[in-house]
Amino acid sequence: MAPQVSVIGSGETWEDAAAEIGRLLAERGCTVVTGGLGEVMAAAHRGAKAAGGTTIAILPGERRDDANPWADHVVVTGIGHARNLAVAASGDAVIAVGGGWGTLAEIAFAQALGRVVVALDGAPEVEGLRTAATPAEAVELALAGIE
């Protein structure tokens, strides 16, 4: 099975970085998992698709149509913010790009479950996380962690 890497975060200013991370993950053979909505989530999926990768959206709501247009597969959870647990748990590694409170919850769950977590500079600051200065470094650290 292909490694699965979750890209979490939010904020329009982080879309370029997220797209770059999605592209690099796809080039390395990883499936890109996100929360399935816009901004960082959509950009990571878009980057992965541009590189021929595979994408999975894990949505909070009850409608498949809420997923961004670059989602290949859509899991409709219906459990609101609690789907953040599924996003965190479904990644062999998790990369945080920008983001707010929802991202912080995902980081916390990923750490609680022993997933590899990498925070790109600008993500919520949490003691004990691997941090990366660039998308390429974030992807390297994530993949190194799960090998």
Which residues are at the interface with a second copy (CB under 8 A)? 1, 4, 31, 33, 54, 56, 58, 62, 64, 71-82, 85-86, 89-90, 92, 100-102, 104-105, 107-109, 111-113, 124-127
What the block records as the tokens of 54 is 């595979």
Which pair of tokens denotes residue 25? 């993950």
Nearest to 18, CA basis, from 127, 143, 123: 123
Least distance to a second copy, CB of residue 134, Å: 23
Q: By C-beta, is 85 or 139 nearer to a second copy?
A: 85
* Shortest Å, Cβ 81 to a second copy: 6
As measured in angstroms, the least distance from the Cβ of 136 to a second copy is 25
Residue 96 structure tokens: 């945080």
**Which residue, 38 or 80, has its beta carbon nearer to a second copy?**
80
If the CB atoms of residues 99 and 135 are measured against a second copy, the closer one turns out to be 99
In angstroms, the CA 114 to CA 108 distance is 10
CB of 16 to a second copy, least distance (A): 24
Q: Which is nearer to a second copy, 50 or 80 (CB)?
A: 80
Which phi and psi angles does 111 have, rounded to 5°?
Answer: -65, -40
* Measured distance CA(96)–CA(124) in Å, rounded: 8
* Strand bridging mode 73-76 / 116-120: unpaired
